[in-house]
């Protein structure tokens, strides 16, 4: 049975034959007068006219002096009819094939055809080909629709195949595009301005979420990938914008679920001089407009739910809903009472470290059964730190959430613009964060400063593409074009490219030194014991700082080992690959030096022996690499205050350097 590698080899042979004929199988120039759907849809107008069409070959049938090719472009499919006496001969300079070269074409290739629009004897609308050009020679066979491409893992990893074979998946992302375009159209038509705000932030906020962290080399500072659009857009209200929005990616370092992805597209709008009640009606109108444009209906069957968005939208009071279901008052209950309600309803209790988290879990247990559309209103202040208080019910906020088919689809607020109140709430959130709640908000003092200059009363709302996934009836991963998956290279590809070291490439691309590839199988026990790592610490510094110096010295040392082949280690991974740990197979010895001068002597001996090494000095504790560099520019090596030195080598070489040092006590 032929394998993928066999098919690829045959196509490589055809590719070489095309090149030997002088044909460029990948020309840049393409000419097209009509899409394929225009040919079939306007046949009466186009019959007999000369057209140029392009597409990917779906099917090839050849019968002696005639052949039929079915091609597809974005608009649809069309048959090409080729007759040996009508197709012009080979013109290699223009990548033009003659009838004799048709065997060099495979399914999956892209071609261009020119000729009159006709109907064949069987009544099939076709182009009678006079000129045939190859545009792209494919080297791997594209699965055909009737063959199927249904393996979920394969589909998500190779969406470019998925959308060629499963056209309904491609149509999904056309609807997704319409969904966001309709959102823009609705907002733009009502005077909103789209402003693209930064993705990288010094302080991130606007939601309860754990952020991703990255580093900007130019500033030598860490940044967060935004978890929300909120705070920068509200700064724009302070800058004088009255209606502003942004649509773009946001990032939350959380697990995958059917409704959540770590990276997803979201939209937030902010409307000055409007309150939450203004925003509720506005958002109802927005949702109805967008869904009608994207799906052509307001009636949906979503799993077990029958949802009709054209009917009046209900309002549910947060506290009343909780009390009716669980018999507890969110404003007058203890954490123990909340934990009992969680336990009674078989909900997770152990990670409920504070009252707001517990109450939120109780609400979400109710939410999963809500058909909707429902506006959840009067949210308690303690679960809405960025929302304005209700003047007639100070324990609640002017916040509303739309719930449809068991999912929360948007969040709407009368925005808090009292700087003192905001600072107090930020401070409380920061206390929660300092106590271990990674999803609590950070204290953003710059935002507080903006509020002190003045931000007008405003309403704001945000929703993510979860709204699209819900109405499309798909999970989060199915609802995005290229979902994040654990990086893998299949065995077929490894076999096709045996000259490539994919483990080494992956290590370099992820920043892990190429030394960190499992070497235990090739290294003997004798070899492992022949090498050691030595850390010498200054005993004059306190133990805590000494350990810190050792950690920094070792971590910096590992970064110097990219070409060191002697190091042997074993990498541990569980089945999922989530657990990933490395352990060295060489002994590590920790010694002590009497003072910085002794460390300096050791450091010089190590360098003289040309051993890989790293050092940690006192100035590295100041916190800024730039300040450290400035200090070092004014000093010689003799003037440095050494805290730790680490080096690696053969035991016999290390003994000469370490014989005068004692073990760390």
Residue 316 has pLDDT above 80, yes or no: yes
DSSP output for 99-127: GGGGGG--TT-EEEEEEEEEE-TT--EEE
**Could you report the per-residue pLDDT of 78-103, keeping only the tens digit for each?**
999 999 999 999 999 999 999 999 99
Spell out the alpha helix ranges (H) of 296-328.
318-326
653: its two tokens: 């070489």
| The dihedral sign for the CA sequence 420, 423, 427, 429 | positive
In the prediction, which pLDDT does 468 show?
Answer: 97
**Cα 647-621-226 angle, rounded to 5 deg:** 105
609: its two tokens: 């022996």
Residue 158 has pLDDT above 50, yes or no: yes
Mean pLDDT of 381-385: 77
Reply yes or no on domain 515-663 having CATH 3.40.1490.10: yes
Beta strand pairing call for 642-650 and 531-538: antiparallel
Q: Is 117 helix (H, G, I), strand (E, B) or coil?
A: strand
In the prediction, which pLDDT does 611 show?
Answer: 82
Distances (CA, A) of 12 to 5, 137, 139, 142: 10, 9, 7, 15
pLDDT averaged over the chain? 87
**Could you report the per-residue pLDDT of 253-302, keeping only the tens digit for each?**
988 888 889 999 999 999 999 999 999 999 999 999 999 999 999 999 99
Nearest in space to 538 (alpha carbons), one of 390, 644, 427:
644
Residue 623 has pLDDT above 70, yes or no: no
**What's the residue count for the chain?**
665
- pLDDT band at 507, cuts 50/70/90? low
Q: Between 581 and 295, whose confidence is greater?
A: 295
Range with lowest mean pLDDT among 208-222, 497-511, 552-566: 552-566
Contact between 11 and 123 (Cβ < 8 Å): no
Residue 538 has pLDDT above 60, yes or no: yes
DSSP 6: H
Contact between 137 and 92 (Cβ < 8 Å): no
Contact between 623 and 222 (Cβ < 8 Å): no
Residue 567 has pLDDT above 70, yes or no: no
Whether the domain at 4-142 and the domain at 515-663 fall into the same CATH topology: no
Give the H or E element holding residue 148.
none
Q: Is 421 helix (H, G, I), strand (E, B) or coil?
A: helix
Nearest in space to 135 (alpha carbons), one of 153, 159, 111:
111
582: its two tokens: 């490395």
For the chain, the domains span 4-142, 515-663
**How far apart are alpha carbons 536 and 534 in whole angstroms?**
7
Q: Please tell me the number of Cα atoms within 13 Å of 423 on its side-chain side.
A: 10
Q: How many CB atoms lie within 10 A of CB 52?
A: 16
**How far apart are alpha carbons 91 and 202 in whole angstroms?**
60
**How far apart are alpha carbons 175 and 171 in whole angstroms?**
6
Residue 369 has pLDDT above 50, yes or no: yes
**How far apart are alpha carbons 229 and 242 in whole angstroms?**
16
**How far apart are alpha carbons 200 and 212 in whole angstroms?**
10
Range with lowest mean pLDDT among 308-322, 374-388, 539-553, 642-656: 539-553
- pLDDT band at 403, cuts 50/70/90? very high
198: its two tokens: 């930064």
Nearest in space to 57 (alpha carbons), one of 39, 34, 80:
80
In the prediction, which pLDDT does 562 show?
Answer: 45
How many DSSP H helices and E strands does the chain contain? Answer: 21, 29
Q: How many CB atoms lie within 10 A of CB 320?
A: 12
**How far apart are alpha carbons 127 and 131 in whole angstroms?**
11
Contact between 536 and 599 (Cβ < 8 Å): yes
314, β-bridge pairs: 374
Q: How many CB atoms lie within 10 A of CB 538?
A: 24
pTM, whole model, 2 decimals? 0.74
Spell out the alpha helix ranges (H) of 42-127.
43-46
Mean pLDDT of 50-59: 97
Distances (CA, A) of 410 to 31, 182, 266, 587: 46, 17, 10, 56
**Could you report the per-residue pLDDT of 119-144, keeping only the tens digit for each?**
999 999 999 999 999 999 999 998 87
497: left (phi over 0), alpha (psi -120 to 50) or beta: beta
Q: Is 61 helix (H, G, I), strand (E, B) or coil?
A: strand
622: its two tokens: 């100041």
Q: Between 2 and 236, whose confidence is greater?
A: 236
**Could you report the per-residue pLDDT of 426-479, keeping only the tens digit for each?**
888 888 778 777 777 888 899 999 999 999 999 999 999 999 999 999 999 999
b/e map 252-283, b = 16+ CB within 10 Å: bbeeeeebebbebbbbbbbbbebbbeebbebb
Contact between 115 and 130 (Cβ < 8 Å): yes
Query: What's the 3-state SS for 455-519?
Result: CCCEEEEEEECHHHHHHHCCCCCCCCCCCCCCCCCCHHHHHHCCCCCHHHHHHHHCCCCCCCCCC
**How far apart are alpha carbons 354 and 369 in whole angstroms?**
25
203: its two tokens: 């302080």
Residue 349 has pLDDT above 90, yes or no: no
Contact between 115 and 51 (Cβ < 8 Å): yes
- pLDDT band at 557, cuts 50/70/90? low
To 10 degrees, the CA torsion angle through 291, 293, 296, 302?
-20
Q: How many CB atoms lie within 10 A of CB 625?
A: 11
At the topology level of CATH, where does 4-142 sit?
OB fold (Dihydrolipoamide Acetyltransferase, E2P) (2.40.50)
Q: Is it true that the peptide bond before 373 is cis, omega within 30 degrees of 0?
A: yes
**How far apart are alpha carbons 184 and 110 in whole angstroms?**
35
Q: How far is CA 368 from the centre of its chain?
A: 26
**How far apart are alpha carbons 611 and 652 in whole angstroms?**
12
């Amino acid at each position: 049975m032929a394998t993928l590698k066999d098919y690829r080899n045959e196509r490589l042979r055809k590719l070489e034959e095309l090149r030997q004929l002088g044909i460029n199988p990948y020309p840049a120039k393409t000419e097209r007068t009509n899409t394929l759907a225009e040919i079939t849809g306007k046949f009466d107008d186009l019959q007999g006219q000369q057209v140029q069409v392009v597409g990917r070959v779906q099917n090839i049938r050849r019968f002696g002096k005639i052949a039929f090719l079915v091609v597809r472009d974005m608009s649809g499919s069309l048959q090409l009819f080729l007759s040996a006496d009508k197709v012009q001969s080979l013109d290699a300079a223009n990548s033009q094939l003659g009838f004799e070269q048709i065997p060099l074409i495979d399914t999956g290739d892209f071609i261009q055809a020119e000729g009159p629009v006709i109907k064949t004897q069987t009544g099939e609308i076709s182009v009678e080909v006079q000129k045939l050009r190859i545009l792209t020679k494919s080297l791997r066979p594209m699965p055909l629709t009737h063959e199927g491409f249904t393996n979920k893992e394969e589909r998500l990893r190779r969406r470019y195949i998925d959308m060629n074979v499963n056209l309904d998946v491609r149509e999904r992302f056309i609807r997704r595009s319409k969904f966001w375009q309709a959102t823009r159209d609705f907002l733009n038509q009502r005077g909103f301005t789209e402003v693209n705000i930064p993705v990288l932030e010094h302080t991130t906020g606007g939601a309860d979420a754990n952020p991703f962290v990255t580093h900007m080399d130019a500033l030598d500072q860490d940044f967060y990938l935004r978890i929300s659009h909120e705070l920068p857009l509200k700064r724009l209200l302070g800058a004088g914008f009255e209606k502003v929005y942004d649509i773009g990616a946001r990032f939350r370092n959380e697990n995958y679920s059917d409704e959540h992805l770590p990276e997803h597209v979201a939209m937030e709008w902010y409307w000055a001089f409007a309150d939450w009640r203004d925003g509720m009606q506005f958002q109802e109108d927005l949702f109805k407009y967008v869904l009608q444009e994207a799906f052509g209906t307001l009636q949906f069957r979503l799993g077990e739910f029958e949802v009709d968005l054209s009917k009046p939208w209900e309002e549910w009071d947060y506290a009343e809903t909780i009390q009716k279901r669980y018999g507890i008052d969110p404003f007058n209950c203890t954490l123990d009472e909340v934990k009992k309600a969680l336990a009674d309803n078989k909900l997770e209790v152990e990670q409920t470290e504070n009252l707001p988290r517990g109450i939120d879990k109780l609400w979400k247990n109710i939410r999963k059964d809500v058909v909707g559309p429902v506006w959840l209103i009067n949210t308690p202040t303690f679960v809405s730190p960025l929302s304005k208080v209700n003047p007639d019910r100070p324990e609640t906020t002017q916040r509303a959430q739309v719930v449809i088919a068991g999912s929360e689809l948007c969040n709407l607020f009368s925005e808090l613009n009292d700087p003192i109140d905001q600072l107090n709430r930020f401070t409380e959130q920061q206390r929660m964060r300092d106590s271990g709640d990674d999803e609590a908000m950070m204290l953003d003092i710059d935002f507080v400063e903006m509020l002190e200059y003045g931000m007008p009363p405003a309403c704001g709302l945000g929703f993510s593409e979860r709204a699209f996934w819900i109405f499309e009836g798909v999970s989060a991963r199915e609802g995005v074009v290229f979902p994040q998956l654990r990086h893998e290279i299949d065995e077929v590809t490894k076999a096709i490219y045996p000259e490539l070291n994919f483990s080494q490439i992956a290590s370099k691309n992820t920043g892990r030194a190429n030394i960190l590839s499992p070497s235990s199988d090739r290294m003997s026990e004798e070899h492992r014991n022949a090498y050691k790592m030595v850390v010498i610490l200054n005993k004059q510094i306190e133990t805590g700082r000494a350990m810190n110096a050792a950690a920094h010295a070792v971590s910096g040392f590992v970064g110097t080992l990219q070409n060191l082949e002697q190091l042997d280690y074993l990498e541990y991974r569980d089945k999922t690959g989530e657990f990933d740990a490395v352990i060295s197979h060489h002994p590590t010895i920790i010694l002590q030096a009497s003072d910085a001068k002794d460390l300096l002597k050791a450091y010089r001996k190590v360098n003289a022996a040309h051993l890989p090494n790293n050092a940690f000095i006192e100035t590295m504790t100041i916190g800024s690499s730039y300040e450290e560099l400035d200090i070092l520019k004014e000093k010689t090596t003799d003037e440095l205050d050494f805290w730790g030195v680490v080096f690696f080598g053969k035991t016999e070489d290390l003994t000469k350097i370490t014989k005068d040092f004692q073990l760390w006590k």
